[in-house]
Amino acid sequence: MKTELEPEYRRQHSSGSGEEIAYSVEARYNFTEPTTVGGQLFDNRWRRVHFERSVVGVPPCGRWHRKTIEHGMLGYAAAQALRWWLHALADAEIGGLCLETRIISHRISHSFKIEAVAAHGHIHGDDRSNCIPDWGSTALKDA
């Protein structure tokens, strides 16, 4: 059961904001014909490279960079490592010539506010399910 909070309790508990710089890798195949590298098609236009995530491999960034992870971006070291991995893969698959990569930096700005807005049935109050099984009112009268 949801009830309104007492006026003195209904307040903002915390708020904050912040910024993170995150990175992505873009590539293009600067040649007249497009080609595929690692299952991704590249032509002469810059496009974001999507890297598969796995347990083994380059970690995307430190776990404290929550917004970077949440938005599928990378830390700088990971972006550099994966960028060079793409060049190594291109070298193995197509000879590597004409593949160009770049790292794009992104500013992620965020803000939050935590505010108490309602209370839900408290134990030993309207909700006594921890003390008496909820068999319904007729079950208790018949017992």
| pLDDT for the residue numbered 130 | 55
pLDDT at 96 over 70: yes
For residue 132, tell me if it sits in a domain: no
Provide the domain limits for residue 25: 12-115
For residue 123, tell me if it sits in a domain: no
* Burial category of 61 from C-beta neighbours within 10 Å (exposed 0-12, middle 13-18, buried 19 and up): buried
1-26 pLDDT tens trace:
566 666 666 566 778 888 888 999 99
Tell me the average pLDDT across 58-75. Answer: 76
If one counts the domains in the chain, the total is 1
Among 23-27, 40-44, 75-79, which stretch is predicted with the lowest mean pLDDT? 75-79
- pTM of the complete model: 0.67
